[in-house]
């Protein structure tokens, strides 16, 4: 058991270390996050009484079916308020594959966010890794905003869209993990836990290490999603967003 924990931690360090802060030009990474070919018109919204003179407005949205036609590794779409993050998410048999590849599986410095190969989108804990940048507000860079509690209070939830449903997650904790600190647990990278006690211990540890109190409780029955990116202030650290599933709606 001890060997398994050490091995898991070592793999977590390797994966996390691949997501260091990026320095690049927009030209060098455009293909990593320009998905204009995969947008479709969404259902038009109804005009309001206050806006009768305007025609019905429509908003474009990413099409999961079109994305999957381009790349069958697509497993969902991550969407935050105001689409500050609005990204297709992939999964490969190993965590190295999409670190430097785009949706077309071509080289791209910024890669594409991916679900950890240790689990899947239905795991107890869905772990998603993504790059951030010191110079461009792309991929997971907006997660840096969550170091400020005021931003969290304004944007406490996000959605994950699959072929079957739209899931809403509520952020329960924001962590700042130091990869150089051997006492800084990397247990957040796990897709599951061996026992209820182990899971409860993880939640307690997360509460003790969170940057600020959210007031959101996590129980044994909850399913989690964890988002991981580099801390653009320090390449040795990672911003970790822990969230619990609070609602699902059929697509």
Mean pLDDT by 10 residues, the chain (251 residues): 40 56 43 80 58 54 97 98 96 97 93 97 98 88 97 98 98 96 90 97 96 97 98 93 98 84
Contact 188, 206 (CB under 8 A): yes
pLDDT at 136: 79
pLDDT at 15: 58
pLDDT at 21: 59
pLDDT at 189: 95
Domains of the chain plus CATH, in order, are 2-250 (2.40.260.10)
């Amino acid at each position: 058991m001890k060997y398994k924990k050490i091995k898991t931690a070592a793999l977590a360090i390797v994966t996390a270390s691949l997501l260091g802060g990026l320095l690049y030009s927009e030209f060098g990474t455009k293909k990593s996050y320009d998905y204009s070919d995969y947008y479709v018109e969404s259902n038009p919204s109804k005009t309001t009484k206050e806006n009768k003179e305007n025609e019905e407005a429509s908003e474009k949205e990413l099409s999961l079916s079109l994305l999957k036609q381009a790349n069958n590794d697509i497993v969902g779409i991550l969407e935050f308020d105001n689409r500050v993050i609005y990204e297709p998410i992939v999964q490969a048999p190993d965590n190295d594959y999409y670190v430097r590849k785009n949706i077309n599986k071509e080289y791209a410095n910024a890669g594409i966010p991916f679900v950890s190969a240790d689990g899947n989108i239905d795991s107890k804990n869905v772990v998603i890794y993504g790059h951030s940048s010191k110079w461009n507000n792309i991929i997971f860079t907006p997660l840096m905003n969550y170091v400020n509690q005021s931003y969290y209070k304004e944007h406490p939830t996000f959605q994950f869209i699959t072929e079957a449903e739209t899931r809403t997650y509520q952020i329960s904790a924001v962590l700042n993990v130091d990869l150089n600190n051997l006492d800084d647990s990397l247990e957040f990278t796990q897709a599951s836990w061996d026992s209820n006690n182990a899971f409860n211990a993880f939640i307690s540890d997360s509460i003790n290490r969170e940057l600020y109190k959210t007031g959101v409780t996590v129980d044994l029955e909850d399913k989690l999603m964890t988002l991981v990116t580099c801390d653009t202030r320090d390449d040795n650290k990672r911003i970790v967003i822990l969230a619990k599933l609070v609602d699902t709606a059929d697509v």
